[in-house]
Amino acid sequence: MNHHTWCNVPDKDEDILAMDGAFTKNQKGCSPFLRSIKYLIFWGAMFFMYPAFIAQSYSFAVRKKKYGELAMMLLHWPIIWGPIFYFMPFASAITIFITLYIVLSGWLAFGFITNHLGCEVFEKEESESLSWMELQMRTSRSLIGGKFVHWFYGGLNTQIEHHLFPKAPRFNLLKVQEMTRDFAKKHNIAYFEATPIQAYVQINNVLKEY
């Protein structure tokens, strides 16, 4: 779990190396072409996140030779979509398919990008000078908004707490958040939180700077 150990450390955290590192400050290995268009394509790409996750899951299963899991994932197509395309007119079935994928992509993507994008990014040497707890807190963002935001974001709004207590169930993360915030204040540790709108503005500004 490199992401939960080396969060926002490009040399270690594969999760922030999307598009060849185009969304990291130093853009290691990022081609000039990707660097020039990433700001334009970023927000539109959010609506293709769901099929991208599926493709990544297939790729992971193949690379790790988890062929049983791959077979179970592939059964999704004939079991779920087979009856839909068989019993419904093709135009209706394809409309449902496209709508579902766009909605799920947007919901997933706009939740995930608030977690770490726009937070601090550290080189490996810098990260080693920080404690594990401080690194997680400085590279993660939690969202303000109470129970509705907690439901809408599926617990991703308590991202700092999720990184500090990865095994804590989602329904307890709001309770843990109060403890974490108080602990950070008491020990003068930065606690990064924002409303969802503020988070998207911060992300947009960071993409411009990158």
What's the confidence (pLDDT) of residue 204?
86
The pLDDT value given to residue 24: 65
List the chain residues with pLDDT less than 50: none
**Contact 65/125 with Cβ under 8 angstroms?**
no
Q: 53 CB contacts (<8 Å, ≥6 apart)?
A: 108
- Quote the pLDDT of residue 115: 93
- H, E, C per residue of the chain: CHHHHCCCCCCCCHHHCHHHHCCCCCCCCCCHHHHHHHHHHHHHHHHHHHHHHHHHHHHHHHHCCCHHHHHHHHCHHHHHHHHHHHHCCHHHHHHHHHHHHHHHHHHHHHHHCCCCCCCCCCCHHHHCCCCHHHHHHHCCCEECCHHHHHHHCCCHHHHHHHHHCCCCCHHHHHHHHHHHHHHHHHCCCCCCEECHHHHHHHHHHHHHHC
Supply the pLDDT for residue 146: 81
- State if pTM tops 0.85: no
pLDDT in tens, 181-194: 999 999 998 899 99
Task: Please tell me the predicted confidence (pLDDT) of residue 199.
Answer: 95
Backbone angles phi, psi at 28, to 5 degrees: -60, 125
- Condensed to tens digits (0 to 9), the pLDDT of residues 142-199 reads 999 888 898 999 989 999 999 999 988 988 898 899 899 999 999 998 899 999 999 9
Residue-level pLDDT at 102: 93
- Domain range annotation of the chain: 2-56+111-209
Cα 86 to chain centroid, rounded: 35
Task: State residue 158's pLDDT score.
Answer: 94
Output the pLDDT for position 19: 59
